[in-house]
Amino acid sequence: MAFQALAMLTAAFVVAFTQQWKLTLVTATTLPLTVIVVGITVALDAKLEAKILKIYGKAGGLAEEAMSTIRIVTAFDASNKLRRKYDECLQLAKQYGIKKGPVLGFQYSTEFFAMYCAYALAWFYGIELLLRGEVSSGGDVLTVLFSVLIGTSSITMIAPSIGELTKLPPQPRACLK
């Protein structure tokens, strides 16, 4: 996904710059805002997700242990106690999941705000360039606008993928003889 999004980002800006470089520069001014917000929110989301996964691991271990020792659990009538512990784990994970909502809400609201600002900038400056005769048609304005928007939205696809790549465990090195 990261490579696909990176290719999409590159291709979109190549198309935009070849159509009308001035309009591309003006429209791409929303790009830094998107990069900063996505970078911050992905980092916060990754921290919350790590906590949730740790809790799910604990809950899964508890369930696995209860299932593997089902005779002992039944003999000591410990199923209610284990169920409460399991529910507590899931409740804690739910609380962290609820905390993810505002983070993602801020990310997407800022992304759409930047997108609509890019629309406004592209139309305003594109019409200005069209009236000056620097742009041959409205199609060039649309091409630049959509190319920049596709490039900007691909950044939101790159950031989570990079977060996932950092979670990969290190590969064992082969022993040298």
CA distance 112 to 106: 10
175 pLDDT band, cuts 50/70/90, is: very low
> Which residue in 110, 139, 145 sits closest to 125, CA to CA?
145
Q: Is the pLDDT of residue 166 over 60?
A: no
Q: Is the pLDDT of residue 36 over 60?
A: yes
Identify the CATH class of 2-163. mainly alpha
Residue ranges per structural domain of the chain: 2-163
- Tell me, what's the pLDDT at 119? 87
Phi (first) and psi of residue 83, to 5 degrees: -65, -40
- Tell me, what's the pLDDT at 126? 92
Other residues' Cβ atoms within 10 Å of the Cβ of residue 76: 10
Computed over every residue of the chain, the mean pLDDT equals 86
Mean pLDDT of 72-77: 86
Q: Is the pLDDT of residue 132 over 80?
A: yes
Residues constituting the chain: 177
Reported as a single tens digit per residue, the pLDDT across 100-122 is: 999 989 998 998 898 899 889 99
